[in-house]
Amino acid sequence: MPAPPDPSRDLQARHAELRARYADLQARGLRLDMTRGKPSPEQLDLSEGLLALPGNRDHRAESGEDARNYGGVQGLAEVRALFSGVLGAPPEQIAVGNNSSLALMHDCIAYALLKGVPGGAAPWSREEIRFICPVPGYDRHFALCETYGIGMLSVPMTPRGPDMDAVEDLARDPAVRGMWAVPQYANPGGETYDDETVARLAGMATGAPDFRLFWDNAYALHHLTDRRPALRNILEACAAAGRPDRPLVFASTSKVTLAGAGLAFLAASPANLRWYLACAGKRSIGPDKLNQLRHARFLRDAGGLERLMEGHRRLLAPKFRAVTDALARALAGTGAARWSEPAGGYFVLLEVPDGCASRVVELAAGCGLALTPAGATHPYGRDPRDRTLRLAPSYPSLGEVEAAAEVIALCTLLAAAENRQA
Ligand code: PLP
């Protein structure tokens, strides 16, 4: 992102004009929603073909097992092979869950709290524990920690990934058992961790022998441009550093096929995978293998996955451009904001002057635009500088996104102008 916001005096002078434009917007009676990164109906339509599959009494997996029946807690071999490249792990180190990788993250945390993890002396719940949280980050990661009483330690994101000096410092504390990471096209900043960051995360000393890196690679396939930053393989990096059990890698097809009916994945070291399957095997007699078969038939191979993602990109890229173009038109040179121009993922990060983010959300609501609450990008919902906003342009139509972006730009200017007057 360009230089930090420094609202100019011009904005103060424009206050009356901005107020008048705001009143005009209010009169338009808009009803817009940019709160959550959901796929649009057109994106879901790309996978409509899934719903007719497997069909024609096609319910035998490659192994000969009947996908309609119980069992197969690790998931079908052909699906694990299909996603092996995305996850950066051999099929035998992958488990396929039902929809929602968040559910897998939840379960890993719950199992760790109740039973402990390989290499640990006791269940995590026996002590006060903490997670390192790159900030801004994903609100549901933070909510998971909060609901289970796991303390959160914020570290700032940089364009290369989390501030690694701060991470290494915090990781020395034995109470620090985990860290969240969205390593590719991070939610919400869009950053991809560079090679040095991945190497340092793999190699760093931790006070806890059972420290786990929750590597949530939710946006591994979600390119918006031809710039495709390569992410170093964390499982290989950790194994090479002698810490094969450090990472738990998560991904899903929520934003590939159907958000409510996709597949979720965990990839991990052999010891971690055995641990997970032993726990998961108590929880359920097996996942929905028909849905796995359906995905194998629909996607076919890595080329099929790529073609589908190209379809998403065609729908999404114009919406992201509409947001960043509108912000540039209205805000460039005003010093009232800076914003990300993500090469992938689902969000645009907007940084407004300190103390203005909640006011922008309030002003936007006043003219019919719902935004993610200010603070959602920070642990406990508290952004100490009240300056970070997450914009989610995927779900509304292109026309709605264009209208919403105008509203956001105007509300940002108005909030900055009010701030100057205060
Ligand atoms: N992880 C990140 C970083 C996300 O942004 C999201 C959804 O927005 C999820 C996980 C949710 O994934 P799933 O639908 O697989 O539970």
What CATH number did the domain enclosing 27 receive? 3.90.1150.10
CA distance 79 to 400: 37
| Atom 2 of ligand 1, nearest CA residue | 218
Work out the pLDDT band at 421, boundaries 50, 70, 90: confident
Q: What is the pLDDT of residue 13?
A: 83
Q: Is 138 in the pocket of ligand 1 (CB under 6 A)?
A: yes
Q: Is 182 in the pocket of ligand 1 (CB under 6 A)?
A: yes
Average of per-residue pLDDT values in the chain: 95
Q: Do 184 and 288 share a domain, yes or no?
A: yes
Total number of domains constituting the chain: 2
Is residue 97 a part of any domain in this protein?
yes
pLDDT at 284 over 90: yes
Tell me what the mean pLDDT of segment 282-309 comes to: 97
The number of C-alpha atoms within 13 Å of 169 and in the hemisphere containing its C-beta is 8
- Does residue 215 fall inside a structural domain? yes
Same domain, 229 and 288: yes
- Report the separation in Å between the CA atom of 251 and the middle of ligand 1, taken as the mean of its atom positions: 8
Distance from the alpha carbon of residue 179 to the mean position of ligand 1, in angstroms: 16
Residue 398, in any domain of the structure: yes
In this structure, is the dihedral angle defined by the CA atoms of residues 34, 35, 37 and 43, taken in order, positive or negative?
negative
d(CA 363, CA 357): 10
- Report whether residue 264 contacts ligand 1, using a CB cutoff of 6 Å: yes
- pLDDT per position as a tens digit, 173-189: 999 999 999 999 999 99
Provide the residue count of the chain. Answer: 422
Q: Is 257 in the pocket of ligand 1 (CB under 6 A)?
A: no
List, for residues 308-337, the tens digit of each pLDDT value: 999 999 999 999 999 999 999 999 999 999
Residues 102 and 215 in one domain: yes
- Nearest CA, atom 14, ligand 1: 100
What mean pLDDT comes out for the span 13-36?
A: 92
Q: Above 80 in pLDDT, residue 5?
A: no
- The verdict on residue 4 lying in a domain is no
| Residue 69 and residue 184 in one domain | yes
Domain assignment of residue 51, yes or no: no
Q: What is the pLDDT of residues 198-231, one digit of tens each?
A: 999 999 999 999 999 999 999 999 999 998 999 9
Structure confidence at residue 55 (pLDDT): 87
34 and 105 share a domain? no
Q: Which of 244, 276, 300 is the last residue of a domain?
A: 300
Q: Are residues 80 and 223 in the same domain?
A: yes
Mean pLDDT of 108-124: 97
12 lines ligand 1 (CB under 6 A): no
What pLDDT is attached to residue 208?
Answer: 98
- Report CA(218)–ligand 1 centroid distance (Å): 6
Examine the domain organization and report whether 190 and 338 are in the same domain. no
| Closest atom of ligand 1 relative to the 100 alpha carbon | 16
State residue 36's pLDDT score.
83
Q: What is the pLDDT of residue 116?
A: 98
Q: How far is residue 234's CA from residue 266's CA, in Å, rounded to a whole number?
A: 13
The residue ranking higher by pLDDT, 11 or 16, is 16
Same domain, 247 and 380: no
β-pair type (369-371, 32-34): parallel
Interface predicted TM-score (ipTM): 0.99
The answer as to whether 54 is a domain residue is no
Lowest mean pLDDT among 54-58, 181-185, 192-196, 392-396: 54-58
Percent residues over pLDDT 70 in the chain: 98
Tell whether 55 is covered by a domain.
no
316 and 271 share a domain? no
Q: List the one residue out of 371, 374, 370 whose CA is nearest residue 382.
A: 374
Atom of ligand 1 nearest to the CA of 345: 5
- What is the spatial distance between Cα 318 and Cα 324, in angstroms, rounded to a whole number? 10
In this structure, are 278 and 170 located in the same domain? yes
Instruction: Say if residue 268 is in the same domain as residue 347.
Output: no
The verdict on the CB of residue 218 being under 6 Å from ligand 1 is yes
Point out the ligand 1 atom lying closest to the alpha carbon of residue 186: 3
* Nearest CA residue ID for atom 11, ligand 1: 102
In this structure, the answer to whether residues 274 and 341 fall within a common structural domain is: no
22 pLDDT band, cuts 50/70/90, is: very high
Atom of ligand 1 nearest to the CA of 99: 15
Please state the atom number of ligand 1 nearest to the C-alpha of residue 101.
15
Taking residues 134-150, report their average pLDDT: 98
The pLDDT score that the predictor gives to residue 9 is 61
- The boundaries of the domain holding residue 380 are 9-43+306-421
